[in-house]
Chain A
Amino acid sequence: MSQLNQGLTLFLSLLVEATPFLLLGVAFSSLLAVLVDERKLIAYTPKNPVLAAISGSLFGCLFPVCECGNVPVARRLLMQGAPSALAIGFLLAAPTVNPIVFWATWVAFRDQPAMVFWRVGLTILISVTIACVFSVQKDMRPFLQPAIARYLPNPDPKPEPALVGSGSSLLSGGDFLLQSTGTLKLDQPMMATLGATTALPQQSWHDKAQAVLEMMLQEFRELGAVLVFGSAIAATVQVAIPREWILALGQGPITSILAMMLLAWVVSICSTVDSFFALSFSSLFTSGSILAFLVFGPMIDLKNISLLLTTFKGRAVMYLFVLAAQLTFVLTLAVNSYTSW
């Protein structure tokens, strides 16, 4: 009976501590989805792959989204012609490298402030590395689902104007839409097409607020349910599994990292609240393994694989998964082996 009470108190405390951060996360991601125009942002970002990867992985500071919000944003970035390094860097780092997650991790690991810096540092390192690897692939289209790839520009260095004014350019092939202002070529990049069309109907502030609230509710409903499952698993593991087993697993420098990475992958808890989940294991597991949980979980987990597959083909998701897993494992093992932290 005491164990049941202990488990329930643990479960409720995780929920009560995590709910404010979850709300903050869904509020920001909804605001951004409705209010921010990524096209303007892309225009200001560097084209060099390494710089694009770095700026992409820091984009999260502007778009504080968790790993459910980042896939739609990364998809919009790709469709609007962002360099692949920027989109991949954003995809992997944004759920961790953002002010809300920074704050939540700080709150959870007040005893070990170094955790926050390790977490952010390793995430940026891994994201930039993977983004650079992906940038070698100049044409991203074979990696993307056909529905998305259609919108992507051809990396061929002969750009064509969207609006065809003179007669000679009519010689180029493709689908065209005849408009009063000129001819619009339909198979152009989304950005160019959208830029050329007349402005979209302006929404009133009331409509926008309504849309933000609607989206917040939608995300809260779903992520709240995932949070409930995650908290239940954390509480059960702590209470029901014998301490000796967990200690045996959690004190080995390699087994602890593998166990926490597997847990991160299965539990799929939202990155704004995962530090509270990890906190409940921090007295039993090595610091490196807690770090592995906090770095790997937001990049790839069971939940966002289904989201990633809406944008990327299976092969590309596999590459992302394998690279992220290997880098996390090697780097956190180094933390376990070479630092006294």
Chain B
Amino acid sequence: MNLKQRFQLSRFITGEKPVDDAIILTHRRIFILPTQRGWAMLLLMVILLLIAFVYNNNLTYLLTFLIASVFFITILHTFKSLAGLVVQAGQTQAVFAGEAAGFDIHIHNPNANERPHCQIKLTKPQSFTLKPYSKTTQTLYSLTQKRGWHSVGTVTVFSTYPLGLFYAWSPLRFNSQTLVYPKPSPLELPFPDSPSADSEQGLSHKGTDDFYGLQEYQAGDSIKHIHWKAFAKGQGLYSKQYSGAKNSAEVWLHYDDAIGHDTEQRLSQLCRWVVDAERADIRYGLVLPTVKLPPDCGSAHYRQCLEALALL
């Protein structure tokens, strides 16, 4: 690191370049400044020194110097409460846009000294303690807004232990990302009756002939099964249930079928359909301008579809 890099302001606030590996907190990464209370303590020392000076009182001098030394030594103690910690980014979980993404951060104390009070912060600070030679995992949450890859940002490990007079912090950046799915549309729309799925619908219609009964409309029910007559009478939405219809229903979720002014709205609608279909246990396929995923269900397929939506 050259001198210019060493004194870049961003190093103190956002941290150095993101890394994959574990980061060991050393003097290069830990910064320290007095807190507001620390500055107040300095003021206290000035007052005490003034008293000692005016009254020429040696014991007040001694008390002042003792407090000053404690103040000074606290720098070392606060630094010590962070020094040597090994911080590593762990797993992440994909979320829908608008939800908080969770990042696991593993913190390992490889030394014999206890860490009575450290804090870690992404958006909100969390406290933790570490016994000698122990590990902890903290899950940090940050709010997501847009679909796509969301990187963790700057994780700050900090401490004001033991006296709260100094704030030692270490801004860390990891190459840790989480996938953010589009936000499911709040509109509950029936699945599209897509023509592109015709060839396969023959199979699925096999058991749909035997009328079984009516059921209140549930998200994911095919538009074809809606009991329109009842709806027209104002009795509400009902789906016709056919024996054997379960699990065999299949929908094609086509990008062009999704209504919306722009891509995001369409994706949002598609996302909602995917979620509804998965919940209703319906086989669903996804057709996007660039990707085509054949109908299937199950969590792997679900994830695949959402990923495709997130990364379009």
Tell me if chain B binds chain A: no
